[in-house]
Amino acid sequence: MRKPLLAALTLVTFTSACGFGQSRFNPFNWFGGAEVAAPAEPSVVDAEDPRALAMQITALKVDAMPGGAIIRATAVMETQGWWDAELVPVDKDAPDGKLVYEFRVFPPIKPADVSTPQSRSITAAVYLSDIALQTVSSITVQGATNGLTSRR
């Protein structure tokens, strides 16, 4: 009984040091950290979505979840009070494997304070299934002044 248990523990110890953590098979490595994207032309505001683009995208993270991934972006606005943030896809299907989202948000209803960057930050997220992520090689979130990209 001791020999099989000792052999199994030794095998697990050696296998854990093999670098599976850096493998493409590990879902936690599917998307890397965010990098600065080239500024894109903002799309035309239509009557169905009158929200403005977020001022500056400060963070983009793609978290692997069972059955898909959560794309989470944080932006810093000019003032406090911005609301109803959403990541809106620019093109529903990504023909070249590049998903592009715009960070859309409503402005404050009445004049608001400027205060600290932490109090002016706002976060939006969207869930994508594994099926939707099959052909995706990069995810970009655009704001009014910048964008961030996360690549596989």
The more confidently predicted of residues 62 and 17 is: 62
Tokens found for residue 70 = 């959560």
| 129-138 residue pLDDT tens | 999 999 899 9
Closest listed residue to residue 132, CA positions, set 32, 78, 65, 75: 65
pLDDT, one tens digit per residue, over 89-140 is: 998 777 788 999 999 999 999 988 888 999 999 999 999 999 999 989 999 9
Domain definitions of the chain by residue range: 1-25, 31-151
Per residue in 44-67, pLDDT (tens digit) is: 445 578 899 999 999 999 999 999
Calpha distance 60→55 (Å, rounded):
14
